[in-house]
Chains A and B, each alone.
Chain A
Amino acid sequence: MSEETLLEELLAGKHRALARVISKIEDRSPGYRELVSELYAHTGNADVIGITGSPGAGKSTLVDKLAETYRERGETVGIIAIDPSSPFTGGAVLGDRIRMASTVGDMDVFVRSMSARGTLGGLSTATADAVKAMDAFGKDKVIIETVGAGQNEIDIVRTADTVAVLVPPGSGDDIQTLKAGILEIADIFVVNKADRDGADRTVQELRDMIQLGNEGGMSGGAGGHHSQDVIDAHDDWNGEDDDTTDETGWTTPIVETVATKGTGVDDLLNEFGAHREYLLESGEHATQVRGRYAEEVRTLLREDIHAMLEAELEAAGGVDALAESVRQGETDPYSIADDVLAPLEDCLEEVDVEPSDAA
């Protein structure tokens, strides 16, 4: 199938074409770049929601219920579920689909499993591109689901407009360890399995943390949107104000859910809506989108240059031979990097001159 027909069929709503486009994106197969850049003209209509949390927090089950509820509201849904791949064989078992049973037989819920097989932050690019494909296809909501295990996952989930972090009850210790990690990127906290013991305490701990973040103005914290001005303003009020919401910022709400029963799912959807509104009204959305595209451009360039350098490395005798010469004490990695880069820099200098000549 040619790229053009593929694009036409995707825009016409053929599921097979969407599936195939995502494969091309994942595989980085020839022609995928043209395809994705064509897609951009047709995007911008979907709300993108990221769901993350520790393994077993109930992400897939919750996503399933979210999809079901969106469908009841008459909206179409795309889901990208990302699971880790083995660092040794590259193989993966993608198991999120099993939990997504409420919407089977409904092709308007398009579930796609992806493995973390990419290179150099490539997965977040691939995810962003897959989101674009679903957006162009006409999905109203796109949900990205991933384990919040590390930087890679955080980068992925950052491609979403709204990020919900699932915190299971009784993870008090986890909260400590995660503090500098995924909790920072939450726009909404979800205490799932809220019918379990310890749920109240977890909610309380999160609430304390959010307040701490607001009052202390901790950068990047849950209240990271708050500026110093706002904190000063608080000081001027000269009193303890329990309501940490201010006119310009977004205070991370905490939603309690029981995904297996669907409890709290409506509340969560309403919070998603509220956050969406906040983003648009405050102008935060434009900033966010701009930042995301800047990151995408950087990542793409990094990947391209990486590929070029791989060829250079090969030309210089291959990385293994070079590494061996370092081991023998003949040279060092810095000198090699300089040598490999030299022809590229020469080229760039030449190119730099040309446009000014033309102008």
Chain B
Amino acid sequence: MSSEQEGESIRCLVAKVGLDGHDRGAHVIARAFRDAGFEVIYSGLHKAPEEIVQAAVQEDVDVLGISILSGAHDTLVPKIMDGLEEYDAKADTLVLAGGVIPDEDREQLKDEGVAAVFGPGTSIEETIEFVRENAPER
């Protein structure tokens, strides 16, 4: 129960970036994370990479989940990663990508620093489990 809840809670930013108006998935994730006891900050739609970086840095999130269904991940994600780097936030932020991301692009995203890519059909439990296990210790 909350009355005895001490200190840390996993903080997540659920981010929608670029020209992509589909946020049902992001909402489902935000809600599921909340129910898992995480603190979720939702970015809202159509955010520029800089806005996502600003939010991630200021909110000091442990986890940044980027939802992209527009196919522009190969340009947007690197911009976000560079921004995090600029503010020394890249190393200890767990970055996840979700949405429609072709298999052949996954390696490249991981090279950029994305910890995991969750495509369509991933179960929510799996995602939550991954976050719990991999959220950076601070």
Contacts and interface: CB of A to CB of B under 8 A. Distances in A.
B123 interface: no
Contacts of B40: 91-94
Interface string A75-105: 0000000000111111111110110010011
B42 A98 contact: yes
A153 B7 CA distance: 19
Contacts of B1: 87-88
A293 B30 CA distance: 37
Interface in A98-123: 98, 101, 104-105, 107, 110-113, 115, 117, 119
Contacts of B11: 23
Nearest to B34: A91
Contact of B6 (A20, A28, A86, A115): A28
A22 interface: yes
A27 interface: yes
A95 B27 CA distance: 12
A16 interface: yes
A92 to B, nearest CB: 5
A19 interface: yes
Given A89-B35, A98-B42, A29 B58 contact: no
A107 B9 contact: no
A15 interface: yes
A28 B39 contact: no
A172 B106 CA distance: 56
Contact of B37 (A91, A93, A104, A112): A91
Identify which of A88, A101, A115 gathers the most chain B CB atoms within 10 Å of its CB.
Answer: A115
B35 A91 contact: yes
B39 A19 contact: no
A75 B79 CA distance: 29
B34 A86 contact: yes
Contacts of B135: none
Nearest to B31: A93
Interface in B98-135: none
Nearest to B62: A23
A85 to B, nearest CB: 7
B20 interface: no
Interface in B34-63: 34-44, 47-48, 50-51, 54-55, 57-60
Given A85-B2, A92-B34, A97 B55 contact: yes
A104 B31 contact: no
B55 A87 contact: no
A210 B87 CA distance: 48
A92 B41 CA distance: 8
Given A87-B1, A112-B58, A28 B7 contact: yes
B74 interface: no
A270 to B, nearest CB: 28
A93 B33 CA distance: 9
B44 A104 contact: no
Interface of B: 1-9, 11, 30-31, 33-44, 47-48, 50-51, 54-55, 57-60, 87-89, 138
Ordered nearest first, which 10 A-B pairs have the shortest CB separation? A98-B44, A19-B60, A91-B34, A27-B7, A89-B37, A23-B60, A104-B51, A91-B37, A27-B8, A94-B41
Given A22-B60, A90-B37, A93-B40, 11 more contacts: A19-B57, A19-B59, A20-B60, A23-B138, A87-B1, A91-B33, A91-B40, A92-B34, A112-B59, A113-B59, A117-B39
